[in-house]
Amino acid sequence: MHNIKSLVEILTLLLLMISVNGCATDRSLSPPREGEKVTFTIKVPAEPKPYDMRVMYRSAKCQRVGHDGSGKPEMLDGHSSFETVFQPGQPGNMYKATLFVNGGGPCEWRLSNVMFGVTYRDPSRFGENVLAGGGGGVIVVFDHNNPQLGVGRRVAVEGSELKIVKDYYLWLNERYTGGYVKRASLSGYGSGYLTYEARQARNVYFEPVFHSEFVVTSVAPKKHAVGDFIKFFYPDGTVESDPEGRPNFKKMQEIRLRAEAKK
């Protein structure tokens, strides 16, 4: 009896998929020419650079099959993702990108969420094989859905303006397990991405304030061992081990503010 019930559920879901998607096989975006837009602006300091924005639109019309917590299939909004590039503006350290709120097309796409940010521009200044790491990312959610990457707590913002001004520090980190790698990352508040739910935002401004003269370095253990954590070397000469694997942002802020107060 249970197997018959499961089969009926699956067949019902398949019929629903056919009825929903049958008339909308063209999944392309076609925003109206005079449609409402969201403008994104990044004020980029000298040493970082913007990376490509990852964009996701969703459609209640062109749905897809997902699974709930018990593993049963369910219908979810379809999604369409792509990347776009920030264009330099005036003055030269301002970069802009524009997206339509209504993505149009047979699927009637709507802007769901975006990921963008900055990374270190020239990691090779710290060595030939040094890579650019992350740390300067922003996620903005424009609907009720989860974003393409779930990181940290969402900050709800009302109104058409979203202004983000945050402090960042240079973080040089070395790892040995799985092969040696050294990265030049940005260390800021949180876990690398700031997440905002701003459904009505039409102007998003991001200004990473980069304090390049305050550098934190870290060295990971060469082998996994219980109680052996990453060591962080702070610009005031202190050394700390941290199981979370990220610099202490509050400590970096205090070090900088003390140094600036002495000037």
> Domain locations in the chain?
30-261
**Beta bridge partner(s), residue 155:** 196
pLDDT exceeds 50 at position 19: no
CA distance 60 to 108: 8
What does the alpha-carbon distance between residue 203 and residue 43 come to, in Å, rounded to a whole number?
13
| pLDDT band (50, 70, 90) for residue 14 | low
User: Is the Cβ–Cβ distance between 247 and 220 less than 8 Å?
Assistant: no
Residue 232 pLDDT exceeds 60: yes
Conformation bin of residue 82: beta by default, left when phi > 0, alpha when psi is -120 to 50: beta
Return mean pLDDT, the chain: 90
Render pLDDT for 98-154 as a digit per residue (tens, 0 to 9).
999 999 999 999 999 999 999 999 999 999 999 999 999 999 999 999 999 987 789
Q: Where is pLDDT greater, at 204 or 68? A: 204
Give the closest residue to 164 by CA, choosing from 147, 139, 143, 200: 139
Residues 210, 45: Cα–Cα separation, whole Å: 7
- pLDDT of 8 > 50? The answer is no
Stated pTM of the model: 0.87
Q: How far apart are CA 102 and CA 86, in angstroms?
A: 20
pLDDT the model gives residue 13: 47
Give tens-digit pLDDT for 56-90.
999 999 998 887 777 788 888 999 999 999 999 88
Instruction: Give the pLDDT of residue 23.
Output: 46
In this prediction, what percent of the chain has a pLDDT beyond 70?
A: 91
> Residue 154, Cβ neighbours under 10 Å: how many?
17
| pLDDT classification of 39: cutoffs 50, 70, 90 | very high
Q: CA 40 to CA 140: how far, in whole Å?
A: 10
C-alpha 247/C-alpha 241 separation (Å) is 10
User: How many percent of the chain have pLDDT more than 90?
Assistant: 75
pLDDT at position 145 is 92
**pLDDT recorded at residue 9:** 52
CA distance 105 to 118: 31
Please choose, from the candidates 193, 99, 111, the residue with its C-alpha nearest in 3D space to the C-alpha of residue 154: 193
190-220 exposure pattern, b = at least 16 Cβ within 10 A, e = fewer:
ebbbbbbbbeebeebbbbbebbeebbbbbbb
Residue-wise pLDDT tens digits, 146-181: 999 987 789 999 999 999 999 999 999 999 988 999
